[in-house]
Amino acid sequence: MIRKLLRRVFSKPLPDSSSSSPLVIPVATHGVRREQISPCAAKVVAALQERGFQAFVVGGAVRDLLLGKHPKDFDVATDARPEQVRAVVKRSRVIGRRFRLVHAYCGDEIVEVSTFRGEHGVAETDEARADEHGRILRDNVFGTQEQDAKRRDFTVNALFYDPQSQEIWDCTGGYRDLQARRLCMIGDPATRYREDPVRMLRAVRLAASLGLAIEPRSRAPISELAPLLHHVPPSRLFEEMLKLLLSGQSQECLRQLREEGLHHGLFPMLDVILEQPMGERFVNLALANTDRRIKEDKRVSPAFLLAALLWHEVLNAWRQAEAEGFKPVPALYQAMDQVLASQAEKLAIPRRFCSPMKELWALQQRFAHRSGKRPFRLPEHPRFRAGLDFLLLRCESGEVAPELGQWWADFYAADEVARLQMVTPEPRPRRRPRSRKGAGSREAPAAEPTSGRLAGE
Ligand code: ATP
Ligand code: MG
């Protein structure tokens, strides 16, 4: 308390990342009020502080609040050990191996509570905690608040907020960097990227989505160290890629990824897709559409976006399977499996996304049929709306005629009577039955395309 008071009285200059005493910034300066903290995080912090522990809201939430953005989630950092947190916060459990954390639950909300991380002790050899490229494999050594700040990635991510006093504690100069809209790695950037190459992707995502500039020292080693991403487990890469695509600034993120040379080998199909004129337009439209939905606070489905990114791969494989003699529908199913098998391996797409992706692709084939009874069943499909949005994007990209998408949008909006007028009659079977009874009373059917893929082209 006395230290805090002295600090305020003498109003020290803002610290840089090598400085050791935290700067305490009062609410009158930074403007973040305790009401802006989620009730769950505030409750967890209060419970820990009541038991005599240090506890703060930390990381992305503090950064986002300072930028006037709505935080996605709230993390808490404390000097209490995971078991002690468990004992204080009734609805909680310990998770993780690489980092042991506590998840605290309040209704639907989950607050992640981590114990301050510290320097590694001499007892633990470097071999035991890092791989041969310097990547940290385990990190469960506890430490002080200041050590914890320095083990975080960027200075703007290392700010601590105390809801009780409404103060921000800054050990690394993050407050000043945020004001200057600057993203600075804490410590030696090359060493920190080697410890965890995903930090390079985080640098690009945070810079692009928050409108920060990566400061030259933190940017310099990225292109050289980019190949280290190959040693990161695919499931972690997939998670980070998804965060990037769903950041609301996906196009800007991808532009910066390419600029930093980080897209190769990370999302290999992206290179392939972007080399095809049709594919590039479609992917860009899908990304722009996702960014817009996020800005409008609408729901976005990762499966939709992934299905869009791989759609032209599926189309190619579909054409190939048809050329090999498969009928359109089996050819499509074979193409979907083939694309998913090769991508799932490279990208570790979790199984939960694969079936909605397949459903979206399979619906595209069904949109080809606009005669007889078949169109009437389609709007009842649980993924019809998403399927139609997907079709409209295909139209916009020039892959299929806009008329097909418009027809389905109109059909969806129409009532039963109008729908009956819209459909063309069922095409006659190729081999006619012997009896010609009634044949003269029907109009000649409009030709149904033989392949769903070609519909509307
Ligand atoms: P967002 O939630 O908006 O994606 P975030 O910064 O909150 O961004 P999280 O993944 O929620 O990201 O991480 C919470 C905090 O943990 C970060 O703010 C940072 O302090 C720390 N952190 C996350 N990933 C790393 C990392 N790879 N290396 C060091 N510190 C990290
Ligand atoms: Mg976060």
List domains and CATH numbers for the chain. Answer: 1-176 (3.30.460.10), 181-266 (1.10.110.30), 270-425 (1.10.3090.10)
Q: Compute the average pLDDT of residues 288-306.
A: 92
First to last CA, the chain: 73
Q: Compute the average pLDDT of residues 157-185.
A: 98
Residue 152 in contact with ligand 1 by CB distance below 6 A: yes
Q: What is the pLDDT of residue 373?
A: 87
Closest CA to 314 of 346, 353, 291, 343: 343
The pair of structure tokens assigned to 65 is: 């609040």
Closest CA to 358 of 377, 334, 379: 334
305 CA → ligand 2 middle, Å: 22
Share of the chain above pLDDT 70, in %: 81
* Residue 192 CA, closest ligand 1 atom number: 28
In the 8-state DSSP scheme, what is residue 114? Answer: E
| Residue 17 in this model has a pLDDT that exceeds 50 | no
Distance CA 31, CA 66 (A): 8
153 CA → ligand 2 middle, Å: 12
**What pLDDT band is residue 69 in, cutting at 50, 70 and 90?**
very high
pTM, whole model, 2 decimals? 0.81
Strands (E), 334-430: none
Residue 77 in contact with ligand 1 by CB distance below 6 A: no
- The closest residue, in CA terms, to atom 14 on ligand 1 is 59
113 CA → ligand 2 middle, Å: 12
The radius of gyration computed from the CA coordinates of the chain, to the nearest angstrom, equals: 28
201: number of Cβ within 10 Å: 24
| Residue 192 in this model has a pLDDT that exceeds 60 | yes
**What pLDDT band is residue 389 in, cutting at 50, 70 and 90?**
very high
Question: Which residues are near ligand 2, the ion (C-beta closer than 5 Å)?
Answer: 60, 73
DSSP string, 178-206: HHTTEE-BSS-HHHHHHH-THHHHHHHHH
| Residue 11 in this model has a pLDDT that exceeds 50 | no
Q: What is the pLDDT of residue 457?
A: 32
Lowest mean pLDDT among 203-207, 217-221, 230-234, 264-268: 264-268
Q: What is the pLDDT of residue 448?
A: 38
Q: What is the pLDDT of residue 146?
A: 95
Q: Is 301 strand, coil or helix?
A: coil
CA dihedral for 61, 62, 64, 69, sign (positive or negative): positive
Q: What is the pLDDT of residue 139?
A: 64
In the 8-state DSSP scheme, what is residue 255? Answer: H
- The closest residue, in CA terms, to atom 24 on ligand 1 is 153
Q: Best mutation site among 57, 66, 152, 218 for ligand 1, i.e. most ligand atoms within 8 A of its Cβ?
A: 152
**What pLDDT band is residue 430 in, cutting at 50, 70 and 90?**
low
Name the more confident of 454 and 271: 271
Distance CA 184, CA 156 (A): 8
Distance CA 448, CA 445 (A): 8
CA dihedral for 121, 125, 129, 134, sign (positive or negative): positive
| Residue 380 in this model has a pLDDT that exceeds 50 | yes
Q: Which residues are catalytic?
A: 73, 75, 153
Lowest mean pLDDT among 153-157, 267-271, 299-303, 378-382: 267-271
Q: What is the pLDDT of residue 280?
A: 81
Q: What is the pLDDT of residue 408?
A: 96
| Residue 137 in this model has a pLDDT that exceeds 90 | no
CA dihedral for 12, 17, 19, 23, sign (positive or negative): positive
Residue 15 in contact with ligand 1 by CB distance below 6 A: no
| Residue 274 in this model has a pLDDT that exceeds 80 | no
- The closest residue, in CA terms, to atom 2 on ligand 1 is 60
Name the more confident of 133 and 385: 385
Lowest mean pLDDT among 210-219, 277-286, 432-441: 432-441
Closest CA to 378 of 363, 393, 394: 363
- The closest residue, in CA terms, to atom 18 on ligand 1 is 59
Residue 98 in contact with ligand 1 by CB distance below 6 A: no
Q: Compute the average pLDDT of residues 19-23.
A: 75
**What pLDDT band is residue 297 in, cutting at 50, 70 and 90?**
confident
CA dihedral for 190, 195, 201, 205, sign (positive or negative): negative
Q: Which strands sit side by side in the sheet containing 109-115, from one edge to the other? A: 23-25, 167-170, 159-162, 55-58, 75-78, 109-115, 101-106, 92-95
Q: Are 368 and 407 spatial neighbours (Cβ–Cβ below 8 Å)?
A: no
Residue tagged 């797409």 (tokens): 349
Average pLDDT score over the chain: 85
Q: Are 33 and 27 spatial neighbours (Cβ–Cβ below 8 Å)?
A: yes
| Residue 19 in this model has a pLDDT that exceeds 50 | no
Name the more confident of 338 and 344: 338
| Residue 317 in this model has a pLDDT that exceeds 90 | yes
Q: Are 143 and 171 spatial neighbours (Cβ–Cβ below 8 Å)?
A: no
